[in-house]
Amino acid sequence: MIWRATVLTLFPELFPGPLGASLAGRALTAGTWALDSRNIRDHGIGAHRMVDDTPAGGGAGMVMRADVLAAAIDGAGGADDGRPRLLMSPRGAPLTQARVRTLAEGPGALIVCGRFEGVDERVIEARGLEEISVGDYVLSGGEIAAMALIDACVRLLPGVMGAVGSAAEESFEHGLLEYPHYTRPAEWEGRAIPDVLVSGHHGRIAEWRRAEAERLTRERRPDLWGKRPK
């Protein structure tokens, strides 16, 4: 089964972008996953293909129309399309490694990239869109966020990363940030690789890496550290 990402956007020319390079790009060329970027404006209203209108109740900016976006969603995924329908949104649930892994283990995703002030709430409800955020900040649109989500999923697909154990040791996989890494030269600008890492004692290396991961998590992400089982 090929993992399929369908992206609904006003700027389909942005894709594949960075998804066409490195690991994701090679996997895309190899057919490990598939990408289809579709222009929401194809379903726009009138001669000018309008996709937005003024917000009900007043206010600044414009809002993406429910009828236009629904038509784009319906045209991209039929009733038998079991893929999750995602809306990249700053008010969505934070994207986590656990959610990424679940998405990567499925058939793919249909991803809506919002623009303007937001999306008509009725289409979110009627089409069962799951709102997802990539951070507590606001982007100009959902395209960059969609790329981040897709990249995070694709790298977990079988065969994409190469080394089987690579993903298991990464940040967030066990509720911890990743431990520090070192490589040659053994000494650089007066800084040496920690002795334990060149000791050849695998048990001590594992203990050191665990301790360092815990230290970094406590210092940098107390929110993650606080969620760990006591």
What average pLDDT does this structure show over 86-101? Answer: 97
**Position 164 pLDDT exceeds 60:** no
User: Which segment of 16-20, 53-57, 78-82, 183-187 scores lowest on mean pLDDT?
Assistant: 78-82
What average pLDDT does this structure show over 44-73? Answer: 97
Is 99 within the bounds of a domain? yes
Please check whether residues 81 and 110 belong to one and the same domain.
yes
What average pLDDT does this structure show over 104-113? Answer: 98
The CATH number covering residue 196 comes to 1.10.1270.20
Please check whether residues 49 and 88 belong to one and the same domain.
yes
What average pLDDT does this structure show over 53-68? Answer: 96
| DSSP secondary structure letters along 145-214 | HHHHHHHHHHTTSTTSSSSTTTGGGSTTTTSSPPPP---SSSEETTEEPPGGGGS--HHHHHHHHHHHHH
What average pLDDT does this structure show over 72-93? Answer: 94
Please check whether residues 128 and 204 belong to one and the same domain.
no
Please check whether residues 204 and 119 belong to one and the same domain.
no
For residue 184, give both structure tokens.
Answer: 């040659």
Please check whether residues 127 and 17 belong to one and the same domain.
yes
Which of the four pLDDT bands, split at 50, 70 and 90, describes residue 34? Answer: very high
How many independent structural domains does the chain possess?
Answer: 2
Is 161 within the bounds of a domain? no
> Of 154, 181, 214, which marks where a domain is finished?
154
Q: Is the N-terminal amide bond of 84 cis, ω within 30° of 0?
A: no
What is the torsional sign of CA 128, 132, 138, 139? Answer: negative
Per-residue pLDDT of 42-54, as tens digits, reads 999 999 999 999 9
Please check whether residues 150 and 109 belong to one and the same domain.
yes
By residue range, what is the domain housing residue 64? 3-154
Is 160 within the bounds of a domain? no
> Of 121, 154, 187, which marks where a domain is finished?
154
Is 126 within the bounds of a domain? yes
Please check whether residues 112 and 190 belong to one and the same domain.
no
Place of tokens 């726009």: 44
pTM: 0.92
Which of the four pLDDT bands, split at 50, 70 and 90, describes residue 163? Answer: low
Residue 169: per-residue pLDDT: 65
Please check whether residues 202 and 122 belong to one and the same domain.
no
Higher-confidence residue of 164 and 128: namely 128
In angstroms, the CA 121 to CA 132 distance is 15
Is 159 within the bounds of a domain? no
* Strand arrangement of the beta sheet that strand 3-9 belongs to: 33-39, 3-9, 108-113, 85-94, 130-133
Percent of the chain with pLDDT over 90: 90
Please check whether residues 135 and 184 belong to one and the same domain.
no
**Position 208 pLDDT exceeds 70:** yes
The CATH number covering residue 56 comes to 3.40.1280.10
Residue 16: per-residue pLDDT: 98
Please check whether residues 7 and 84 belong to one and the same domain.
yes
